[in-house]
Amino acid sequence: MADQTVKTLMSLAATKFGKAESLLSPRDDFFEVLGIDSLQAMDLLTQLEEEFDVEVPDYELQGVKTFEELAEVIRRRL
């Protein structure tokens, strides 16, 4: 289950920002590896919320930088 969340998340992110999924790994800083800013990250999150059917409050995202951490935030709400 844990692996699946992070995999789905990376796959969505890769498609959204035109990156090869094979280049992403769970511990990557998604800002760096996707080359995105905080606004684009928020856009990504909204898409993830729809995919997983959860609502993540903004404050839970403070300090979240890697795919793994983001997956954990989402998993807590599943």
Partner 1 sequence: MIHPDRYESLGELLRDALVQFKSHRALVEVSRKKVKGELTYSDFKRSAMVVAARLADAGVTSGTRVAIVMSNQPAWLISAYAAFYCGAVLVPVDYKLSAQEQGNLLRHCGAEVLITEYPSWLGLAWVDIPARLRLVAGVPVGETLENAENWPEQPADPSATDPDFVPRKRHDTATIVYSSGTGGRPKGCMLSHDSYLNQYQALLTLFPMDETTRYFSILPTNHAIDFMVGFIGPMACGATIVHQRTLRPEFIVDTMKRLKITHMALVPLVLEAFERKLKEKLDAVPPFYRSLMNGLATINLELTRKKPNRALSKRLLGSVHAAFGGELQYLFCGGAFVDRDRAEFFYKLGIPVVIGYGLTEVCTVATVNTLHPFRGDTVGTPVPGVEIRIVSPSDDDRGVGEVQIRGRTVMQGYLDDPELTAQSFDGDWFRTGDRGWVDAAGHLHLVGRSKNMIVTEGGKNIYPEDIEGAFVEVPVDELAVFAADYIWPREGLTGEQLVAVARARQAKTGTALAKLREKNRTLPDFKRISGVVWWGDDFPRTASMKVKRHELAAAVRQHQGRDAVVPL
Where would I find the beta strands (DSSP E) of the chain? none
Q: Min. distance of Cβ 4 from partner 1 in angstroms? A: 25
Q: Who's near 14: CB < 8 A, 6+ residues apart?
A: 20, 21, 23, 24
Q: Min. distance of Cβ 2 from partner 1 in angstroms? A: 23
Residue 62: other Cβ atoms inside 10 A: 6
Q: Min. distance of Cβ 77 from partner 1 in angstroms? A: 14
Binding mask 16-55 for partner 1 (x = CB under 8 A): -------------x-xx-----xx--xx-xx--------x
